[in-house]
Amino acid sequence: MCIVLQPVLFEYAPEMAAIGTKLRDRAQELGLSDAEVARRAGLHPRRYSNYVNDEREPDFETLLRICMVLETTPNALFEIAGAATAATAQPATRRPAAPGMAVLREIDVRASAGAGAIVESESPIAQWGFPEMWLRASFGANPGELHLITVEGDSMEPVLAPGDKVMVDTGRQVPSPPGIFVLYDGFATVVKRLEHIPNSDPPTIHIKSANPAYDSYDRTADEINVVGRVIGVWRRL
């Protein structure tokens, strides 16, 4: 089971500053009108105008939708120290969680879901807050073993698309039952569906893409390094 996530950027603090000018400036940087931002975010133009004119503050879910359209983060909009846009984010420092919240780090490991981009770094670029009880109840996971990374390539479409953020449970590295995993296959770090081939000797893993344009292949268990099971995905709708 792979759940669509609704994460929150942990460092968000709405009381810090008005954001109307920042919303408009960022939209202009991207060549977007207020009306187009509203359309892409699924908001009525008048409602979005209230935010741009600082007549109202967006709730957190709405702010996240706007940030996705503007390719930025709440941190960047509020100019919190160390914040950056999604495209230029710098390594984030782990901060203590609010009561009841678990902090998950987003790692700059662009798992290639295509023909094999090589991972160049594993630097944390952001941290996101999730209700700890929800993580444990929904996934049976230890929050300390969960990380977020971004998918590249189209080999897992339509299940996973380029740019999707996936939650990876590094405490679950055995492909039983079969599922979607992040792994190093000897050539690249990729996101694929893994299944153990019964009665294989030596133990062998079948590695499969969701996109039929990509061939499946097999590797022995000692030829791959399974990073963890993909248990959730966050994407723009």
Q: Are residues 154 and 210 in the same domain?
A: yes
Q: Are residues 203 and 113 in the same domain?
A: yes
**Is residue 222 situated within a structural domain?**
yes
> Structural domain of residue 69, as residue ranges?
6-77
Q: Are residues 21 and 131 in the same domain?
A: no
User: SS3 string of the chain?
Assistant: CCEECCCEECCCCHHHCCCHHHHHHHHHHCCCCHHHHHHHHCCCHHHHHHHHCCCCCCCHHHHHHHHHHCCCCHHHHCCCCCCCCCCCCCCCCCCCCCCCEEEEEEECCCEECCCCCCCCCCCEEEEEEEEHHHHHHHHCCCHHHEEEEEEECCCCCCCCCCCCEEEEECCCCCCCCCEEEEEECCCCEEEEEEEECCCCCCCEEEEECCCCCCCCEEEEHHHCEEEEEEEEEECCC
Q: Are residues 222 and 106 in the same domain?
A: yes
Q: Are residues 112 and 214 in the same domain?
A: yes
Task: Specify the pLDDT at position 21.
Answer: 87
Render each residue's pLDDT in the chain as its tens digit; 237 residues.
444 444 444 333 334 346 788 899 989 999 999 999 999 888 999 999 999 998 887 876 787 788 888 887 766 666 533 333 443 444 444 454 555 778 888 877 654 454 333 333 455 677 777 778 878 888 888 988 998 888 888 999 999 998 888 999 989 999 999 999 999 888 888 899 999 999 999 999 999 999 999 999 999 999 999 989 999 888 766
Task: Specify the pLDDT at position 200.
Answer: 93
Q: Are residues 215 and 105 in the same domain?
A: yes
Q: Are residues 56 and 107 in the same domain?
A: no
Are β-strands 124-131 and 204-208 bridged in parallel, bridged antiparallel, or unpaired? unpaired
**Is residue 86 situated within a structural domain?**
no
Cross-strand bridge partners of residue 194: 179, 207
Q: Are residues 206 and 157 in the same domain?
A: yes
